[in-house]
Amino acid sequence: MDIVIYIFVAIVALVLLLAAIAPKTYRVSRSIQINSSKDVVFSYLKYLEKQREWSPWSKKDPNMQTKLIGTDGEVGAVSYWNGNREVGEGEQEIKKVVEGERVEGELRFFKPMKSQSDCYFDLEESSDDTCKVTWGFAGKNRFPFSIMMLFMSMDKMVGKDFEEGLQTLKDLLENPYNEQ
């Protein structure tokens, strides 16, 4: 019986140690240069409905159910989705709009795992007809998910999707008459 107690104590100690050293936060971002003015890019990016046209997750589930609540492009607008295993279920809310510069939001995932993250689009004008777009998100790793993050990378899990989405956005804005 003593051996069972020692094994149990060792497992608990290991879990506590892993929880103590596990990353508590994550941050992922990607950027791309778009050959279009900052005004044109911003007037497109601030709308949640437009994201469906270039989002990598829309490609992963073209039959995803979606709903918009509120006035798109304004603080308080919410885009809800419910899709297959790859996209899950959740919603994105616009929390702040700095006209022509930045859109901040909150991502709330319900399935496959409940979580919440902050997300944003930053725009920087490179010249009159070139704009740098940065897409990012950040959040907190909660226990026990934080322990899994010792062996996984949020950047590797989501970074490629961000790159794909930004490339599609670039193609769409630079060649608006091409079908995606």
Q: What is the pLDDT along the chain (180 residues), one digit of tens a residue?
A: 688 787 777 777 777 776 666 667 778 889 999 999 898 899 999 999 999 899 998 888 989 999 999 999 999 999 999 999 888 999 999 999 999 999 999 999 998 878 889 999 999 988 778 899 999 988 877 766 666 666 666 677 778 988 999 999 999 998 866 554
CATH 3.30.530.20 fits 2-174, yes or no: yes
- Distant-in-sequence, close-in-space partners of 111: CB < 8 Å, separation ≥ 6: 88, 89, 90
Closest CA to 147 of 27, 16, 11, 13: 16
Q: Which residues contact 32 (CB under 8 A, 6 or more apart)?
A: 132, 133, 163, 166, 167, 169, 170
> Whole-prediction pTM value?
0.80
